[in-house]
Structure 1
Amino acid sequence: MNALSNAASLTLPGTIPGAASVDSLFASYRSRLFRLAYRITGNHEDAEDAVQETLYRVATKAHQFRGQSQFSTWLTRIAINQALTCLRQRKRDRAVSLDEYLAGDDDRPQFELRDSRPTPDAALYAGESKALLERCTTRLPKMYREIIKLYYVDELSIAEVRGTLNLTEPTVKSRLVRARRMLRDQLEAAR
């Protein structure tokens, strides 16, 4: 954490739009990065760790940003990599040796290993449902497709969608309601 607070005092190169300092960068992207990391790790602490490490890496390696892509794309890729690293670390830390466990006392309670994968039927149903939803979403007019993607896939708030699309908040809300209604009608017609 000390390294992170030292990094917060850095100034960022001009190739990073809208970020005069690391503090302004943190304020702009922290909640979005946390939602992304939480979706990947499924754990609050791991998501926080991934965000902290992402922001630290961006602060210390900002000079490596070449501007060949959008800054948000570069930042998101770093966050995804950090969240996956946290996930791998957690799995590695949870490893249990069955040989040691089974070689122990018979007084210990036995446990059952369960297959965490979905059943073939459940996997098939989930895949079909996802494919149907994607097909119906692509049939929506572009302005409604964008709203659905930003709000549900990217998990942006109404205010963030408003800022991204340069619309008023009531417009975003009404388009979101219309998009959901159109999507529901298409899904019902497809089934």
Structure 2
Amino acid sequence: MPYIPDSFTAGTTLALSVALTAYPPPEWSLTLLLRGPEQRDLTSSPDGTVHAFAVTAVDTAAWKAGDYWYSLRATDGTEVHELETGTFTVEPDLASVAEGFDGRSHAEKVLEAIEAVIEGRASKDQDSYRINNRELRRTPISQLLKLRDVYRQEVKRARAAKRGRDTLGRQVLARFGRA
């Protein structure tokens, strides 16, 4: 069971509670090592039977947005056990980003660019031409349409995942038992 979320927004309070029967507080403490656009090390505090990580909104407002690699470790002062590793994203704090911020994903930006190329090519019939021994070849419309479909699906899956919907396709209902 993962203890660390997939993403977190800078400028908001980060509060994590981790209950570990094999590594109970206060005999054991947890450290969350973060490496990415910057280095952050968080240490848990015992809160009854759980390990609590708490970082105020004022403190997380200074965190740089981007992808971080993490290691969650338990220690009793002598032994150190790595409990979980992975990546998570620190999303930018919209309260502090500059005008003109573009929060779209890479896939959304690429999809828009592909569609702009298709739209611009609609009135051009040549796929290539040569001037003074320089040649320009354009990507065939058929390949652009295939690429557009790939990115449309990627954007659709990402949006569905953000909304907590199934990303594997359509839902199939089944009933088992006697008729």
TM-score over 0.5 for the pair:
no
> What interval of TM-score do these two structures reach, taking the shorter chain for normalisation?
under 0.3
Where relative contact order (Cα < 8 A, 6+ residues apart) is larger, the structure is 2
More helix, by proportion: 1
